[in-house]
Copies of this chain bind each other. A is one copy, B any other.
Amino acid sequence: MSDRTRQAQPPPGETGMALADVDTPALMIDLDAFERNLARMADTLKDRPVRLRAHSKTHKSPLIGAKQVALGAVGVCCQKVSEAEIMVAGGVSNVLVSNEVIGARKLERLAALAGDAEWLGLCIDSDEGLAQASAAASGAGTALHALVEIDIGAGRCGVAPGEPALRLARAIADAPGLVFAGLQAYHGSAQHIRDHDGRRQAIDAAIKMTRQTVGLLERNGLTCAIVGGAGTGTFEMEAASGVYTELQAGSYIFMDADYARNRAKGGGPFDSFEHALFVYATVMSVPGEGTAVVDAGHKALSVDSGMPEPFAMAGVTYQGPSDEHGVLKTGGSNKPPALGDKILLIPGHCDPTVNLHDWYICVRGMGTPQAHVEDIWPVTARGAYF
């Protein structure tokens, strides 16, 4: 096998097809809800001193990235160099790799990409990472914008706020091929704290550490053009902070079941955005009363953040996924699904669910008798990991 190319699978539907004719399992966008989500985020951030840098790891699609930019986003985040290559090739050319990049092969590709992009950045949290990025950019004769990642509570990557960040920022500013661009200050785990006060408390602490670090750097002559972070669960807090300049929310376009388990201020539903992403599935077995088995399991849905939720099916829960099966418990329903019925599942976690599929089946008029496939979009960066 010397051939380094192969085809992805064909899509499970055709443009123009009625919703009910789409084969299953299928990854589906409710275009009406999706467009409302895009507009709602743009409206929320209009006339505020902070812009969206939408996280494309959610959608892996330059086509969707371009829609976000058209509505005011400064550009996108990626998590991987290969994703950044796909975004730039697809016309979205202001790209931050919101992650550390280690290894000569990856950094050479990133440095080369900087020659094609309007703006290209990465995050750095080590001297070794700095040296590697500097060498690659110098070698390519390009410039890489570099943010110092600080750990403000997430416990993943990043140096400590304050002096360690200052030391690294200075080294970046002095390094050939690198441009010091600011701070990466993302609190991932805070996004999924269920109650609003808990999220508020975590983000208040994060904002405080970030503000102090920005101040320390400024007093030392290092201006943070970008202070980036935030996700769908907390972006309004970072937006109001006066410190953050770029918000990295991604899931707001699709709104998964996990985010819907968050509570808003006062305890009400966290419903700023609508569910716009579904996995369409068929009931393939009804082995007995109270149980139905659908054809969507681990290979069609990611359950890392909890089970998917059957959409608009009161009294029905999804349990016990295996590779290609999901068991529905239907005992609480007065209209349990029948063999052959097609149902919509809201993924527990949209990002890794999207990454399982090669295509988006884009439906217009979901929930109406006219529901049909308006378009089919590739999940262009599916499998782009390195």
Interface residues of A (CB under 8 A from B): 1-2, 4-12, 14-15, 21, 23-26, 57, 79-80, 82, 99-103, 105-106, 125-126, 128-129, 151, 155-159, 188, 282-287, 293, 295-296, 298-300, 302-304, 320-325, 327, 339-340, 349, 351-352, 355-358, 375-378, 380, 382-386
Contacts and interface: CB of A to CB of B under 8 A. Distances in A.
A1 B285 contact: no
Nearest to A125: B285
A356 B358 contact: no
Nearest to A279: B385
Closest 7 CB pairs of A and B: A157-B285, A298-B352, A9-B383, A79-B324, A102-B284, A23-B386, A100-B284
A8 B383 contact: yes
A287 B126 CA distance: 8
A286 B102 CA distance: 11
Contact of A103 (B157, B304, B340, B384): B340
A273 to B, nearest CB: 19
Given A24-B386, A157-B284, A57 B323 contact: yes
Contacts of A299: 351-352, 355, 385
Contact of A298 (B103, B302, B375): B302
Given A102-B284, A159-B287, A339-B126, A10 B2 contact: no
Nearest to A24: B386
Nearest to A353: B298
Given A10-B5, A383-B9, A323 B339 contact: no
Contacts of A129: 284-285, 339
Given A6-B7, A339-B129, A384-B9, A156 B322 contact: yes
Contacts of A82: 9
A301 to B, nearest CB: 10
Contacts of A327: 155-156
A339 B127 CA distance: 10
A358 B284 CA distance: 28
A383 B357 contact: yes
Contact of A8 (B6, B284, B323): B6
Contact of A23 (B24, B105, B321, B356): B105
Nearest to A291: B155
B385 A100 contact: no
Contact of A376 (B1, B14, B376): B1
A380 B286 contact: no
A325 B282 contact: no
Contact of A1 (B323, B351, B355, B377): B377
A383 B355 contact: no
A348 to B, nearest CB: 11
Nearest to A377: B1
A14 B12 CA distance: 32
Contacts of A356: 355-356, 383
